[in-house]
A and B are shown apart, each in its own frame.
Chain A
């Protein structure tokens, strides 16, 4: 297939996934601010949304405070933010438009609908009710897009590159979310796993749609290292880092097989996957979760670049 087409497929899937993750973040912040501070902790949930989205610096250039209104404006759809929810949807839709022949009509219609429905949203004027509806519709669009891709695309390189975008983005956002929650938001004097702040951890799980499934897997109360174990190392959890890498490995394998050639991307994905497969959560905490996640984010980026160099340009 055309390199440009593979590139667009890869990126439009990243943008759809990113829009969903941002929407989940905002949704969680919204819930947390509804709790009394004795339950929710003293952290600023809105600020954590900005940090997780990796746009703290550009946000600070425009706003002095991470208030609800400011964060909503910036993350939902400020013109100054090229990675706002609305910008992600518009970019994904534009990419889709330029590679329409690579998408099934169902996938295109979902993106086109999402764009048509959300482009009139005013990020400075979002009452609670409208915000919830907006966030729900973004999550739903992403779910439908994913489902449509899974159910309607031919199993050829079109599909594989589309999947690669989804899982690179998902792994990146999961690692960032964990990093922020564990090490940036907890006050220094509070020992990780100390006075259990159930709602903090529960909110983290909820933001990746994993609260209920956590209980099914562990049958224990929510504890920080179990949460990390669940979201990093458990293959049952479909958003965990290891799950993302199993998928990435599988699709890169299929591409290599179809093209009859292995390359740096295949070697990188195997290396990271084997690290994750051999890791124990106790060791991860021992040597530092932050360092572990930081190095994972860097490796994930390098894999993205390797895919670009090998196939997309």
Chain B
């Protein structure tokens, strides 16, 4: 692998702290490693104690693990954030418009901007949703937009998550942890708060209640159960919002209306923040073997008696093939230039692009169009010869299943690792909430860290960690 210069978010090339990093940079300089190590230990104890764990599929041994938390916060200035926030709002508006169009008139296809087969052949396309319009025309109530930074000015969107993005509980708990562990630093900064996220989420969910709901609509959070990898987050969010955390078996549908079983008898449900995938929602409409869902739920949904968040079929907008069209999608629906940029992307379904990708595979990152979680991807510069060859064959056999991107020089931030303080690559996942009334977005988001030296993979299922993200006034 060739030596590359990575953008260091804390220090410029002369070794000076960048805006926002002043006090933190000094603190890192002065704090003895033992102090940082002891705070790190304290943090681990804190997370274990309150049970912030995630389950790893296929790992029987330690089925409850804690995600490594790096105590050194990552800093963004309020100026950087303000621009990003405008870009995020723009992007989710475009996503919602696109999904409505994809299940409606398909004007964007008629205009020749997006090929129709990318919509119709998409495995996440749900025919059930055609010509159905959810309340407020909102499909993606909760979006997680993955962003990477490559230099002083450029933030790229790496991926849109429009189905059931997770991780927001870590954003909130990380802030709790760093406020406990770094009170001395908080004294020197004005950090924009994030703890109103659950309230914003509840307001968003209430805003999309069906017209038949009462003035105080009943919102619930639907979880697959305690064995799901994100169960902690489900219970955390339900608790903070003060809504019931339900499993499929707690709900039933009668005459097209959804009820939950309570100690006082059935109670009507208006909005379901569901954290289970489309195909498990309703065994009558989708996967008949699913025991996680609620029979008849789709009927109730399409009758307009209950709102699902996110809507069914949003996956049509967040795969990596559609991703490459996002700049056109923004322009088409909003008539604006995109504020956030896409990573240059080669669509292997196009013959010229495929030829280029095959010729330059060792320099590129190849991703499966419908993959997620860092699975099924090839990082060219890190791959062996055999791996490259194997992947080339996969590409040739089914080109339209893949896209390729240049290996980005992801920015680094200082992290506390075994050898001391060292730079590690990070990304950022801000959470964007779209209600019938407005778009809400708490400042910052979840910073994910590739804890292994040189690694670019930040996914928690593959050894990634997290950091608190500070948007600071400068």
Interface of A with B (CB < 8 Å)?
1-6, 94, 97-101, 105, 108-109, 112-113, 116, 157, 161, 255, 259, 311-312
Contact = CB atoms under 8 A, between A and B. Distances in A.
B110 interface: no
B158 interface: no
Nearest to A312: B263
Given A94-B226, A113-B49, A259-B263, 7 more contacts: A4-B247, A5-B244, A6-B263, A99-B245, A108-B50, A161-B263, A255-B263
A312 B263 CA distance: 6
A151 B261 CA distance: 28
A247 to B, nearest CB: 19
Nearest to A115: B51
B264 interface: yes
Interface of chain B, main secondary structure: mixed
16 contacts: A1-B244, A2-B261, A2-B263, A4-B249, A4-B250, A97-B51, A98-B225, A98-B226, A99-B245, A100-B245, A101-B238, A101-B245, A108-B51, A109-B49, A112-B49, A259-B263
Nearest to B231: A97
Interface in B39-62: 48-51
B229 to A, nearest CB: 14
A99 B238 CA distance: 11
Contacts of B225: 98
B239 A2 contact: no
Contacts of B264: 259
Specify which of B51, B236, B244, B261 lies most central, judged by the most chain A CB atoms within 10 Å of its CB: B51
B262 A1 contact: yes
B260 interface: yes
Contacts of B236: 100
Which range contains the number of B residues in contact with the other chain? 20 to 34
Contacts of A157: 263
A142 B50 CA distance: 18
Contacts of A113: 49
Nearest to A158: B263
Contacts of B235: 97, 100-101
B276 to A, nearest CB: 15
B250 A105 contact: no
Contacts of B231: 97
A112 B48 CA distance: 9
B246 interface: yes
Contacts of A94: 226
Interface in B249-266: 249-250, 260-264
Contacts of B249: 4
Interface of B: 48-51, 225-226, 231, 235-236, 238-239, 244-247, 249-250, 260-264
A161 B231 CA distance: 24
A4 B249 CA distance: 9
A105 B50 contact: yes
Given A98-B226, A157-B263, A311-B263, A3 B250 contact: yes
Contacts of B260: 2
| Top 7 A-B pairs, shortest CB-CB distance | A100-B235, A101-B239, A98-B226, A311-B263, A3-B261, A6-B263, A101-B238
Given A4-B261, A157-B263, A116 B250 contact: no
A93 B155 CA distance: 44
A4 B246 CA distance: 9
Contacts of A97: 51, 226, 231, 235
A108 B49 CA distance: 9
A157 B244 CA distance: 14
B50 A109 contact: yes
B48 A116 contact: yes
Contacts of A105: 50
Nearest to A313: B261
A3 B262 contact: yes
Nearest to B251: A2
Contacts of B49: 109, 112-113
A146 B261 CA distance: 27
A95 to B, nearest CB: 9
Contacts of B247: 4
B349 to A, nearest CB: 45
A297 B70 CA distance: 54
Nearest to A94: B226
Contacts of B263: 1-3, 6, 157, 161, 255, 259, 311-312
Specify which of A4, A5, A113 lies most central, judged by the most chain B CB atoms within 10 Å of its CB: A4
Nearest to B265: A259
Contacts of A4: 247, 249-250, 261
Contacts of A101: 235, 238-239, 244-245
A94 B225 CA distance: 11
A175 to B, nearest CB: 27
B241 to A, nearest CB: 9
Nearest to B226: A98
Given A1-B263, A112-B49, A312-B263, A100 B239 contact: yes
A109 B46 CA distance: 11
A2 B250 contact: yes
Contacts of A311: 263
Contacts of A5: 244
A2 B49 CA distance: 26
A2 B50 contact: no
A139 to B, nearest CB: 21
B246 A2 contact: yes
